[in-house]
A and B are shown apart, each in its own frame.
Chain A
Amino acid sequence: QVQLQESGPGLVKPSETLSLTCTVSGLSISSDYYWGWVRQPPGKGLEWIGTIHHTGRTFYKPSLNGRVSISVDTSKNQFSLKLTSVTATDTAVYYCVREIASSPDFWGQGTLVTVSS
């Protein structure tokens, strides 16, 4: 069974960079899937952030392009998210997901990241 687990700081200061890592178990990250991130601000809806293939091909939400980058480390079976110049509006639960045909099917448990000084 595929499992995904997010890790990273739960508190980030405004203007700094949010960094999260997702560790995948039960399946090689080099399998023919995309691996991505979805976030959910407290009390609000889901927002797709971006996705990466193990070959390095990436797609990002247009309005976040320029602030977001996703990378993959096949040796560790992990992929990572970096979001620069964060503000309070980036406060959210961040989920890492496996994605196939533009549809996230397996989700991590999610990690709350708060942007505050």
Chain B
Amino acid sequence: QSALTQPPSASGSPGQSVTISCTGTSTDVGGYNYVSWYQQHPGKVPKRMIYEVSKRPSGVPDRFSGSKSGSTASLTVSGLQAEDEAEYYCSSHAGGNNPHVVFGGGTKLTVL
């Protein structure tokens, strides 16, 4: 069982928007602004799409946006395109006596 909870699947039609949630606790998502999102196509290396909740690395389209409310972070993909179909993972810093990083279980995004 993953530390962060994501829905196993999400879908939308081309041009639509879809939001993927990532739920943690006060000791990870809720306690720090260190949430990241990764996109992984089959057989490929994960690619970071969002870091520090809402920042986009250079080269990532502004169709991808991130936010957080309490212990739930969200990734929104606007203007869906066929190439957005992939697995998406969230991650967060987790504090306490032994700081570490936790991942969500992943969400398969299907573009209909």
Contact = CB atoms under 8 A, between A and B. Distances in A.
A27 interface: no
Contacts of B36: 102-104
Contacts, number: 66
Interface in A57-72: 59-62, 65
Interface residues of A, number: 23
Contacts of A62: 98, 100
Contacts of B91: 46, 48, 102-104
A22 B52 CA distance: 26
A73 interface: no
A109 B93 CA distance: 23
A104 B106 contact: no
Nearest to B51: A103
A104 B48 contact: yes
Interface residues of B, number: 25
A50 B48 CA distance: 18
B1 to A, nearest CB: 11
A11 to B, nearest CB: 20
Interface of B: 2, 32, 34, 36, 38, 40, 45-46, 48, 51-52, 57, 89, 91-93, 98-106
Interface of A: 38, 45-48, 50-51, 59-62, 65, 95, 99, 101-105, 107-110
20 contacts: A38-B103, A45-B2, A45-B89, A45-B103, A47-B103, A48-B102, A48-B103, A59-B99, A60-B100, A61-B100, A65-B98, A101-B93, A102-B34, A102-B36, A102-B91, A102-B93, A103-B48, A103-B91, A105-B48, A110-B45
